[in-house]
Amino acid sequence: MRHLIDFTDLSEREWQHIYRRFEEIYEHPGDYRDALRGQTLASLFYEPSTRTRLSFEAAMLKLGGGVFGFSDPAASSVSKGETLKDTVIMTSGYANVLTLRHPREGAAMAASLYSSVPVINAGDGGHCHPTQTLTDLVTLRRLRGSVEGLRVCVCGDLKYGRTAHSLLRALARFEGIRAVLVSAPELSLPEYVKRTCGAIKLDEQPDLRTAIGDVDVLYMTRLQRERFRDPAEYERLKGRYTLTPEILSGAPSDLLVMHPLPRAGEISEAVDGDPRAVYFQQARYGMFARMALLLELCSLPPFAVKEAEPQGVHRCDNGSCITKTEPYLPVFEGSACRYCEQQNN
């Protein structure tokens, strides 16, 4: 691993190693107080964030390192029209690792082409969110002992929900996973993600109550209002799935209720006191998981960046792809876009 664009960039050995590190740090955080002293994290957030940005920043500070960056692109030269390429070249010269959140799909992969230090994808549009997945898997392994063989219900916005995409692709690496997908038909899992779900047994189920009758994990997600092309569609679909104590009463007593957060009404506050609700614990594990990841990536030597010759014209059909706003990016051959992974005609 040089960059973390999606969770599958981690080998099985790297994931095991990061998990062990997470456990050590969680048990003995004081032992790591100076582990990254003198190192810096550039935190480039082109989109709103609470947990991801703050847990990365807290993680770096708790390791003795420093943090700089922006949480609002309007306050940086991006507002003067600076390209992603230039911003990444500059900041990777100041930092030992970059975290990037961007509204465009494929932005992290694009940034990795110009960075001399590791790039961590902190969410690229409706595409991927690998450190949320790291958080999710660490939570599952810690609370369930193992990820293998789990039955997971994923509910909500499976179309635009990058957390659901990254989680399902990562689960495909484990044996015996069954996934029940619950969403409005308009928000079902895109084909390009389904294709990467490998041996997962996927089942679609319109009714949440039925779906959680015999699963180990319920992973709720928010409808990604900011990615809907038609606001009326969001208004029509919001509130379709809401987890209430009454619905939860029919679920197994050892179910784990997870959510990447923020929630926007899909889990009622009345569920928070249920011992099965682990979403706040999950968010806390995320900081320790990010500490383990930063330790791994900051130990890599800087790499040389090879500038690709500009050639050809981008032909991606995805209107949210990074190639639409950063046309200088190198063009790759193939029917699927190398940035956003959309299959094109």
Which residues bind to ligand NCD, rule: CB under 6 A? 51-52, 123, 129, 132, 162-163, 222, 260-262
Closer to ligand NCD at the Cβ: 51 or 169?
Answer: 51
Closer to ligand NCD at the Cβ: 39 or 224?
Answer: 224
Closer to ligand NCD at the Cβ: 178 or 240?
Answer: 240
| Spatial CA neighbour of 220 closest among 206, 191, 241, 197 | 241
CB of 177 to ligand NCD, least distance (A): 21
**DSSP β-bridge partners for residue 40:** 66
Closer to ligand NCD at the Cβ: 87 or 132?
Answer: 132
Taken in order 218, 222, 228, 232, the sign of the CA dihedral is positive
**DSSP β-bridge partners for residue 179:** 152, 202
CB of 252 to ligand NCD, least distance (A): 25
In angstroms, the Cα distances linking 223 to 113, 154, 244 are 31, 13, 17
CB of 34 to ligand NCD, least distance (A): 28
CB of 304 to ligand NCD, least distance (A): 32
Residue pair 301/97 in contact by the 8 Å Cβ criterion: no
Residue pair 164/154 in contact by the 8 Å Cβ criterion: yes
Closer to ligand NCD at the Cβ: 55 or 323?
Answer: 55
CB of 40 to ligand NCD, least distance (A): 22
Q: What b-and-e string marks burial along 147-167, b requiring 16 or more CB atoms within 10 Å of the CB?
A: beebbbbbbbbbbbbbbbbbb
Q: What b-and-e string marks burial along 2-17, b requiring 16 or more CB atoms within 10 Å of the CB?
A: ebbbbbbebeeeebee
CB of 52 to ligand NCD, least distance (A): 4
* Cis amide bond preceding 190, omega within 30: no
Closer to ligand NCD at the Cβ: 136 or 296?
Answer: 136
Residue pair 166/7 in contact by the 8 Å Cβ criterion: yes
CB of 328 to ligand NCD, least distance (A): 27
Closer to ligand NCD at the Cβ: 245 or 262?
Answer: 262
Three-state DSSP class for residue 151 = strand
